[in-house]
Amino acid sequence: MRQGTRITLAFAAVHLALGMIAARADGFTVDESIGGAAYRGDFANTGSAPRFQIGGTYMHRDWGVSVFGVGLAPGFGYIDCYGSECAYAAKPVDGFGIFGTDVKKTFTLLGDLSRWRGRIDMVLHGGPRYFWGSDNIDGYTGPGLGGGAGIDFDMYVIGAYVDFGVDTTVMHRKDSPELAGSLPYVVFGARMGWM
């Protein structure tokens, strides 16, 4: 094999390897999302609430770890009421704070999207949670589990995603009955960082 051919093949192999690494490199992102959660189980009488989430994710190829905080704020957007509206507004609400960590696994659906050099991934995630209550369930705390699936749209240092999941918990408060339930949710989010 001639020297020029070897150099060309070596260059092509390095270029291919770097392209594959760039498509799935290690990286850290800051993630934030907004959506809604329904209340099930012992929390069902409250109904639902807006869900806000912020966290960080470290990815290594197709696997990652996320750390995040969640706030479920039933009173968000409250407007003063008049007359019969007050009966609904005065209804007791359950507020939640959640701290969680997830293991993530991505599956590329579309990679290297032409000129954008982005990709579309399906993501599965799950892990432990810690819950604390506010408003109607102030003083309740407890462990939980959560998980979900979503679609990620990533391009260089920005991305967007939609995620469907559920968080479950059993919460305790001294001298009170325990509360158990789940919080199915859907959120839309954005991320910034090295993807």
What is the average per-residue pLDDT within 159-170? Answer: 96
CATH fold of 24-193, please? Porin (2.40.160)
Residue 99 has pLDDT above 90, yes or no: yes
Domain residue limits, the chain: 24-193
**Phi/psi-derived region of residue 182, left when phi > 0, alpha when psi is between -120 and 50, beta in every other case:** beta
Which residues make Cβ contacts (< 8 Å) with residue 93, sequence separation at least 6?
Answer: 46, 49, 74, 75, 135, 136
Higher pLDDT, 118 or 75: 118
User: Could you report the per-residue pLDDT of 1-38, keeping only the tens digit for each?
Assistant: 554 444 444 444 434 443 433 444 578 999 999 999 99
Which neighbouring-strand residues pair with 78? none
**Phi/psi-derived region of residue 114, left when phi > 0, alpha when psi is between -120 and 50, beta in every other case:** left
User: Could you report the per-residue pLDDT of 38-68, keeping only the tens digit for each?
Assistant: 999 999 887 788 999 999 999 998 999 999 9
Residue 143 has pLDDT above 90, yes or no: yes
Q: pTM of this prediction?
A: 0.78
